[in-house]
Amino acid sequence: MKKQAVALIVLSAVSGSAFAHDAGEFFIRAGTATVRPTEGSDRVLGMSHFNVSNNTQMGLTFTYMATDNIGIELLAATPFRHKVGLKETGTLATVKQLPPTLMAQWYFGGADSKLRPYIGAGVNYTTFFDEKFNDTGKGAGLSGLSAKHSWGMAGQVGLDYMIDKDWLINMSVWYMDIDTEVKFNSPAGRQNIDTRIDPWVFMFSAGYRF
């Protein structure tokens, strides 16, 4: 009986700590992040609005558990590269962007739960760089492409599944409010085009708890 009692106590202690999102824990997750713009813009040179392609890169998140249920998370990634064009012309240019995003999260369930769904809200900063017209754009007399950096709100839903006490798998969906002003020179003069990117971001990753 004594041996059984000791075994039950040990099992209880292990099961209570094996899968934990405890206050003070730090998580890092790495995987694929796919940006799918829901773009729109003013009409461009009397034609349609900008089309912006999807792109997949490596995504990273760094999460600190302030309490057993509240997390603070930073999203980072390798640079996303998008093709930009018009329905009438096809691709005219490429642009790169980085969207670091800071989130406050609420994790449902107890700290020792193996499965932890969560929601989050926060702020996104997107910086655009390496904007270039391709040969089609240059052939149309376009030059001097630039895109204004963006601040906006962001939201997410996600799910952690603890494989063991240290490793987890994760899937999450983000929505980001990204608005920019695209500027370029054309034969008709300098163009300033208000553009809405507003992407959905789908991330699948593996994580480690420190």
Domains, the chain, ordered by start: 2-209 (2.40.160.20)
- Confidence at residue 14, expressed as pLDDT on a 0 to 100 scale: 40
Q: d(Cα 33, Cα 38) in Å, to the nearest integer?
A: 16
Judged by DSSP in three states, 39 sits in coil
- Confidence at residue 5, expressed as pLDDT on a 0 to 100 scale: 42
pLDDT tens figures, 107-143: 999 988 999 999 999 999 999 999 999 999 999 999 9
Q: What's the token pair of residue 50?
A: 């900008």
User: Residue 80 half-sphere exposure, CB side, CA atoms within 13 Å?
Assistant: 27
Residue 1 pLDDT > 60: no
Beta-carbon contacts of residue 159 (< 8 Å; ≥ 6 apart): 115, 116, 117, 118, 170, 171, 172
Alpha helices in 29-134 (DSSP H): none
Residue 172 pLDDT > 90: yes
* Structural element, H or E, at residue 10: helix 2-17
Contact between 52 and 197 (Cβ < 8 Å): yes
